[in-house]
Amino acid sequence: MILSLKSNAQTAAGSWYGKADVVLDGTFNNYLTELVIKQKGNKVEGIFGYYFRNGYQSFFVKGTYDPKTRQVSIPNIPVTFYKANSIDGVTCNMSFEGTLRVSKVGSFVRGSFMSDGSYKYTCPELRVLFSLDSLVEEDEVINEGLAKKLWQPSVEDMIVVDDQDGPEIKTAVTNSTLNRSTVKSPVLNVNSLTNLFKQRQTIVTNELAVQSDSIRVSFYDNGDIDGDSISVFLNGSPILEKQIISAKATTLYIKLDSTKEFHDIAMFAENLGRIPPNTALMVVYDGDTPQEVFLSSNFQQNGSVRIRKREKKK
């Protein structure tokens, strides 16, 4: 792992490397990680990245540095679950706490990645010792564009399979417990909700082309977090009901029906929040490629996005 910290003047800026190990009995894959950050005042920001099993992930992160205690704190870091078969497996939302140590033999940051106390046994501590790499300049690395915006995982992600009989919710993926179990549709009254949806005009505001047979769709409150609540429809059928959206993602994994020309994903406003109308940022992941769409809905209109399969080049 690379943690960028410069020891001069006890500021948090530079480049550090280290290996994060699972704090459990037994033998587990470790994480070769990196964090390259700049500092402004007591605020730090930069790139967090790590290698695990078969791949590499990198994210843009923000945190704090206390020069009196030499404490580095970076919250909300997604780290692949230590038992996952690949880097694309379920993630744990973790926070890093480390302390800078400077001596004649070198500069180090000793610390740990910790999950919420309720999940410390599911997502165990990852302990790491970073060593300063004085040959790497943080501006040089950060400007390479390695980082992608950090989309925080939601508490519960729904997997939706669309087939000729219509969309069906198959599985709930709870990131906090990492358990998968079959669940019933969260929609309590499908007919009533569908009738309300049809009474409003549905406006297709964007059309996206995707290559994958499955997509990941995440919703975030756009702008101020004001209590917006939405339901989500796939091809006119409800797949999520009365979900409050916030800075954390509400995520749906959708398997597309290859026999259909397109799929419409619509946002139905359950309320208008404190600041009308009901607005959301919708991020559609085609594999690892995100496409962002801003949706707006009210009590007269539903905002919708049309998904089409991209034609393969001959």
pLDDT at 148: 39
Dihedral pair phi/psi, residue 29, rounded to 5°: -65, 140
Nearest to 179 by CA among 126, 119, 242, 124: 119
CB atoms under 10 Å from CB of 39, counted, come to 22
- Give the Cα separation of 276 and 227 in Å (integer): 10
Which tens digit of pLDDT belongs to each residue from 222-234?
766 667 889 999 9
DSSP conformation letters of 97-118: EEEEEEETTEEEEEEEEE--GG
pLDDT at 152: 34
Q: Give 69's contacts (C-beta < 8 A, 6+ positions apart).
A: 99
Mean pLDDT of 14-21: 80
Q: Give 245's contacts (C-beta < 8 A, 6+ positions apart).
A: 219, 220, 221, 228, 229, 230, 280
Nearest to 190 by CA among 218, 215, 167: 167
Question: Options 2.40.128.120, 3.30.390.50, 2.130.10.10, 3.40.50.300; which CATH number does 8-142 get?
Answer: 2.40.128.120
Q: Is the peptide bond before 276 cis (omega within 30 degrees of 0)?
A: no
Confirm if 102 and 11 have CB atoms less than 8 A apart.
no
Q: What percent of the residues of the chain are helix, what percent strand, and what percent coil, each to the nearest 5? A: 5, 55, 35
Mean pLDDT of 148-176: 45
pLDDT at 158: 53
pLDDT at 177: 27
Where do the domains of the chain lie?
A: 8-142, 156-309
Average pLDDT across the chain, whole number: 76
How wide is the angle at C-alpha 271 spanned by C-alphas 246 and 158, nearest 5°?
50
CB atoms under 10 Å from CB of 185, counted, come to 17
Question: Of residues 218 and 222, which shows the higher confidence score?
Answer: 218
Which tens digit of pLDDT belongs to each residue from 178-208?
222 223 334 445 678 889 999 999 999 999 9
Nearest to 5 by CA among 57, 82, 58, 74: 74
At 76, list the tokens: 């909300």
Please count the CA atoms within 13 angstroms of the CA of 272 that sit on its side-chain side: 7
Q: How would you write 149-168 as a 3-class SS string? A: CCCCCCCEEEEEEEECCEEE
Name the pLDDT band for 275 (thresholds 50, 70, 90).
confident
Mean pLDDT of 289-309: 91
- Give the Cα separation of 148 and 253 in Å (integer): 20
How wide is the angle at C-alpha 85 spanned by C-alphas 55 and 168, nearest 5°?
105
Mean pLDDT of 244-253: 78
pLDDT higher than 70, residue 253: yes
- Give the Cα separation of 289 and 286 in Å (integer): 5
pLDDT at 168: 59
- Give the Cα separation of 180 and 141 in Å (integer): 38
Name the pLDDT band for 159 (thresholds 50, 70, 90).
low
- Give the Cα separation of 163 and 258 in Å (integer): 8
Name the pLDDT band for 299 (thresholds 50, 70, 90).
very high
At 282, list the tokens: 């919708």
Most confident of 55-59, 261-265, 277-281: 261-265
Which tens digit of pLDDT belongs to each residue from 113-132?
998 776 777 789 999 888 77
Specify the 3-state DSSP secondary structure of 23. coil
pLDDT higher than 70, residue 155: no
